[in-house]
């Protein structure tokens, strides 16, 4: 049996289905390259466990709303399932499945002993009060409680969730267990067993990947960053810190651009205060679509999936794309970019800094011990650089794109683990 790729009817396909379509396409290529048999391909194309829950939420006015929640464990051959929880109105089971699959390859690629998972709730967190959000989080965690645990499946932040969400998850799980279980979740506040360096870890990883891929001094390298949230804002900052010129950034509300370079620290302060980069006085306004087409050296998509498509890929002028987001580039766009000689450092490599430091946080929790910021950063750098080196040399050796090589390594390691374990019974 071959991997089923959902049919493509553009008008009917949801962003989540598009993401899953992309993930299956990438898996299909890696499986072909590795010569995996049909049974193994099918196993890797389907999640190991997939749970859909209805989450009732008491609103401030006394009404009860019911939202859909999900937790998907894609694969656990290499260790406990690991992956974030997303709160977003467009989140559906297809998107969560795709994101869980990418987590599996990501953890295998950077050599941390986890399988892949993802969770999500179809909700707009900005439309809820803090108390509603807390009730929603706690009830969602209760619904998925049988699946999670420090030895089973460890959630973390993703789009729309943060340290506070993780604190509520840790508390809800711990109250049910009857004792404190810090290792059930990563990306926690420091007071609850969070790790130094976790908050900026994904962005730090993006910086490390970008510097490795640039292969030259970052001084004066022009950068556009799409998304100014947890990943994008700090990625812009860390790139500016090493001498890059960040000329444009965007968020949900708008995009801003300053050809002579943005003062990223000032823009972060403005965005933290107003909730958006929109209206920032020391820059010109820009259209969302225009940001992708700027004549910059480096483009960092750091928001959601499917933003670089066959439609806009031909107009992308950046020679290097480093994916802070999961799944920002469709397979069709990938082909166009490869043909035009654009280097794409793929998501499962470029944004792995987050889960790497999540792993370090979990190790510290399991040992009831903590490391210095310098120690955490050194381990992060080592893991990122060695994964980058492996991907780069396989790509060169086999004439693959960096994405194809990253998937061949990630998928190959999971397949190998499965084969070594054998099939039970």
The binding site for ligand GLU (CB under 6 A) comprises 82-84, 156, 158, 186, 326, 351, 354-355, 358
Is 393 assigned to a binding site?
A: no
- Closer residue to ligand GLU, CB minimum distance, 17 or 358: 358
Exposure string for 91-130, b = 16+ CB within 10 A, e = fewer: bbbbbbbbbbbbbbbbbbbbebebbbbbbbbbbebeebee
- Closer residue to ligand GLU, CB minimum distance, 202 or 222: 202
Which residues, 6+ apart, have CB-to-CB distance to 25 below 8 Å? 5, 331
Q: Is 152 in the active site?
A: no
Is 50 assigned to a binding site?
A: no
Query: For the chain, how many residues are written?
Result: 425
> What stretches of 110-156 show up as alpha helix (H) in DSSP?
130-144
- Closer residue to ligand GLU, CB minimum distance, 41 or 407: 407
In whole angstroms, how close is the CB of 269 to ligand GLU at the nearest point? 25
**DSSP three-state, residue 406:** helix
- Closer residue to ligand GLU, CB minimum distance, 201 or 255: 201
Q: Which of 236, 242, 235 is nearest to 257 (CA)?
A: 236
Q: Is the dihedral angle over the CA atoms 230, 326, 383, 186 positive or is it negative?
A: positive
In whole angstroms, how close is the CB of 42 to ligand GLU at the nearest point? 25
Taking CB positions, which residue lies at the least distance from ligand GLU? 84
CA–CA–CA angle 400, 403, 409 (5° rounding): 80
In whole angstroms, how close is the CB of 244 to ligand GLU at the nearest point? 23
R_g of the chain computed on alpha carbons: 20
Is 358 assigned to a binding site?
A: yes
Cis before residue 425, ω within 30 degrees of 0?
A: yes
Question: For residue 53, how many C-alpha atoms fall within 13 Å in the half-sphere facing its CB?
Answer: 22
Q: Rounded to an integer, what distance in angstroms lies between the CA atom of residue 302 and that of residue 7?
A: 28
Is 203 assigned to a binding site?
A: no
CA distances from 164 to 134, 268, 308 (A): 9, 20, 31
In whole angstroms, how close is the CB of 282 to ligand GLU at the nearest point? 31
Are the C-beta atoms of 312 and 328 separated by less than 8 Å? no
Catalytic residue among 118, 188, 230, 245: 118
In whole angstroms, how close is the CB of 83 to ligand GLU at the nearest point? 5
- Closer residue to ligand GLU, CB minimum distance, 156 or 307: 156
- Closer residue to ligand GLU, CB minimum distance, 155 or 412: 155
In whole angstroms, how close is the CB of 135 to ligand GLU at the nearest point? 23
**Region of residue 111 (left: phi > 0; alpha: psi -120 to 50; beta: else):** left
Active site residues: 118
**Numbered residues of the known binding site for substrate:** 82, 106, 358
**Numbered residues of the known binding site for NAD(+):** 202
């Amino acid at each position: 049996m071959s991997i089923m790729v959902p049919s493509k009817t553009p008008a009917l396909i949801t962003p989540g289905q598009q993401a899953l379509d992309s993930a299956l396409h990438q898996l299909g290529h890696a499986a072909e390259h590795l010569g995996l048999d049909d049974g193994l391909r099918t196993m890797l194309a389907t999640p190991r466990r997939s749970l859909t829950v209805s989450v009732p939420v008491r609103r401030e006015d006394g009404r009860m709303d019911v939202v859909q929640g999900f937790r998907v464990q894609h694969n656990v051959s290499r260790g406990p399932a690991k992956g974030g929880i997303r709160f977003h109105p467009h989140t559906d089971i297809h998107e969560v499945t795709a994101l869980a699959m990418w987590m599996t390859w990501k953890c295998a690629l950077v050599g941390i002993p986890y399988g892949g998972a993802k969770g999500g709730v179809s909700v707009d967190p900005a439309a809820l009060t803090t108390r509603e959000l807390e009730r929603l989080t706690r009830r969602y965690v209760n619904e998925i409680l049988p699946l999670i645990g420090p030895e089973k499946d460890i959630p973390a932040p993703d789009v729309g969730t943060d340290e506070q969400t993780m604190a509520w998850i840790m508390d809800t799980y711990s109250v049910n267990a009857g004792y404190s279980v810090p290792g059930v979740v990563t990306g926690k506040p420091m007071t609850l067993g969070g790790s130094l360096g976790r908050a900026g870890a994904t962005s730090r990883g993006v910086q490390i990947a970008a510097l490795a891929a640039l292969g030259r001094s970052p001084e004066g390298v022009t950068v556009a960053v799409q998304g100014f949230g947890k990943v994008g804002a700090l990625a812009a900052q860390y790139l500016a810190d090493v001498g890059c010129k960040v000329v444009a950034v965007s968020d949900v509300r708008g995009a801003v651009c300053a050809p002579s370079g943005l003062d990223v620290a000032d823009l972060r302060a403005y965005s933290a205060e107003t909730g958006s980069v929109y209206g920032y006085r020391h820059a010109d306004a820009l259209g969302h679509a225009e940001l992708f087409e700027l004549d910059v050296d480096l483009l960092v998509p750091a928001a959601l999936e499917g933003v670089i498509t066959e439609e806009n890929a031909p107009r992308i002028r950046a020679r290097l794309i480093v994916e802070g987001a999961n799944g920002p580039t469709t397979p069709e766009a990938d082909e166009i970019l490869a043909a035009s000689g654009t280097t794409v450092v793929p998501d499962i490599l470029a944004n792995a800094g987050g889960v790497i430091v999540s792993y370090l946080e979990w190790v510290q929790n399991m040992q009831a011990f903590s490391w210095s910021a310098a120690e955490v950063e050194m381990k992060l750098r080592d893991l990122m650089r060695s994964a980058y080196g492996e991907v780069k040399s396989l790509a060169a050796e086999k004439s693959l794109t960096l994405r194809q090589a990253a998937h061949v390594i990630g998928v190959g390691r999971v397949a190998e683990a499965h084969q070594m374990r054998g099939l039970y019974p």
